[in-house]
Amino acid sequence: MNTTTIPLLVSEEGSRRVALLGMQRELDAMLDWTRDNVPDLRAIFVTPGSCTESLVLIKAYRAWDEENPPTDLIEWDWAGWKAQTFPPRVCANFIMSSTFQPVPPL
């Protein structure tokens, strides 16, 4: 799938949290990295995280290949990139999690 056609859904609360944090530019960079680096990406959802009132969750939906199951540690790669790219005050507010669950209806 072409990375420009990857469906992106940002929930109202997710959008509100990013706006309150003033970190839209940072989120956009994280979404670009996710589109460019997560293997077999099918969709991205941005929602509020549940740990803190400022946490934003980037959920990357991936395809599962039974014959060639993934062996990557994409969350580790993302976390390393995030830590090298942004200061701790930004990093503390964003998490990316990949899942092989079906993509919910858009």
Angle of the 24-37 helix axis to the 74-85 helix axis, nearest 10:
140
Confidence grade of residue 12 (pLDDT, cut at 50, 70, 90) = very high
Model confidence, pTM: 0.89
| Residue closest to 16 by CA, chosen among 27, 7, 6 | 27
What is the largest distance, in Å, between two alpha-carbon atoms of the chain?
44
Contact 56, 16 (CB under 8 A): no
Whether 37 has a pLDDT exceeding 70, the answer reads yes
The pairing of beta strand 8-10 with beta strand 94-99: unpaired
Cα–Cα distance, 54 to 32 (Å, whole number) = 21
